[in-house]
């Protein structure tokens, strides 16, 4: 749903009132964001790889912190 990022707060409130956010979603979100950026890199090239790497590094930090 990252393509809906520009829809604003009222969209997400309505969406989440119908489809609640799963437990752990925020922990998985960097993976979803990285996947989206990697798709853009595959399709368009350019600077998307740096963004994908940043999301994956964020995910690694989150997983490392949980394993301690």
- Can you give the pLDDT of all 68 residues of the chain as single tens digits? 666 667 888 988 999 999 999 998 888 888 888 998 999 999 998 889 999 999 899 889 988 998 88
Cα separation, 30 vs 10, whole angstroms: 23
How confident is the model at residue 17, as a pLDDT? 96
Confidence (pLDDT) at 29: 85
- pLDDT of the residue at 54: 92
pLDDT value, residue 62? 87
Nearest Cα to 56, choosing from 34, 24, 25? 34
Report the pLDDT value the prediction gives residue 68, as an integer from 0 to 100.
82
């Amino acid at each position: 749903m990252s393509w809906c990022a520009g829809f604003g707060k009222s969209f997400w409130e309505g969406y989440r009132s119908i489809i609640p956010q799963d437990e752990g979603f925020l922990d998985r979100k960097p993976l979803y964001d990285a996947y989206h950026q990697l798709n853009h890199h595959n399709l368009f090239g350019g600077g998307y790889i740096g963004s994908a790497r940043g999301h994956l590094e964020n995910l690694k930090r989150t997983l490392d912190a949980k394993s301690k």
